[in-house]
Structure 1
Amino acid sequence: MLTAEGCPKTMLSIRDALEAVEGRWKLLILFALAQSPKRFKQLAKEVPGITDKTLSKELKSLESNKLVQRNVYDTFPPTVQYSITAHGKSLEKVIEELHYWGLAHRREIMGK
């Protein structure tokens, strides 16, 4: 349980966590990659509504935060595949809890 005693440090760690996964797409990308590694186009299909430019930007950010790994295979043309890292997998419970909270929230605000 979080307490007010460690508030500045707690706020800092929460801010860092939110910055790593902020935005509309990052958690959805991580969810898709948690199922299996994917090539760019596969990932674009599994995250409906995301543009190629945004997906590329978000993957670079996730990679810099060590949540996603980009693997390049020596083929012609080169094959690139993205996978979730062990560090990224540590967010699975958080994503699952957000899923359940989102369902409850939707019922609360929509009465369903």
Structure 2
Amino acid sequence: MMVKHNHKECTSSLVPVRDALDVISGKWKLQIIISISSGNNRFREIERSIPKISSKVLAKELKDLEEHQLIKRTVYDDSPVLVEYTALPYSDTLNPVIKALYDWGIQHRKKILNK
């Protein structure tokens, strides 16, 4: 049972949730993290592994994830230039969140489809 809190307590308890959602919300971020963690390290590999993501959106989301220290972008001075993305250890802290969302998604799909 949920305990009722005053407005200030409620607002302060939502701040960490809002902070987390600011980092991982949207259609693509978790999919990108999962793709990179699964071994897709180059831009085109990541793009091909996520249906319907545009190059422009992928580039923006990769930059956001890098700024939040979840992934690392490494540029190799080859010819042509090679860019690889790797998941940083900090991204592993999202594994329980991803697992919980996965489990909830399966449960929710069953509930909705079995009306």
Fold equivalence (TM over 0.5) = yes
> Does structure 2 retain, via aligned residues, the 8 Å contact 1:30–1:84?
yes
Which residue is 1:66 aligned to?
A: 69
What one-letter code is carried by the residue in structure 2 that aligns with 1:86? P
Cα distance in 2 for residues equivalent to 1:14 and 1:71: 31
SS at 1:91's partner residue? helix
> Does structure 2 retain, via aligned residues, the 8 Å contact 1:37–1:84?
no
Higher relative contact order (CA 8 A, sep 6+): 1
> Does structure 2 retain, via aligned residues, the 8 Å contact 1:70–1:80?
yes
Question: What TM-score comes out, normalization by structure 1 length?
Answer: 0.89
Q: Deviations over 1:10-66 (max 9, x none)?
A: 211110000001110001111111222510000001111101111011111111111
What one-letter code is carried by the residue in structure 1 that aligns with 2:109? R
Which residue is 1:106 aligned to?
A: 109
> Following TM superposition, by how much is the alpha carbon of 1:8 offset from its aligned partner in structure 2, in angstroms?
3.0
Which residue is 1:83 aligned to?
A: 86
Aligned partner (choices 39, 49, 52) of residue 49 of structure 1 = 52
Percent sequence identity is 36
Cα distance in 2 for residues equivalent to 1:39 and 1:15: 30
Give unpaired runs (5+ residues) of structure 2: none
Give unpaired runs (5+ residues) of structure 1: none
Cα distance in 2 for residues equivalent to 1:86 and 1:25: 20
Which residue is 1:16 aligned to?
A: 19
> Does structure 2 retain, via aligned residues, the 8 Å contact 1:20–1:65?
yes
Please provide the CA RMSD for this pair: 1.9
Question: What TM-score comes out, normalization by structure 2 length?
Answer: 0.87
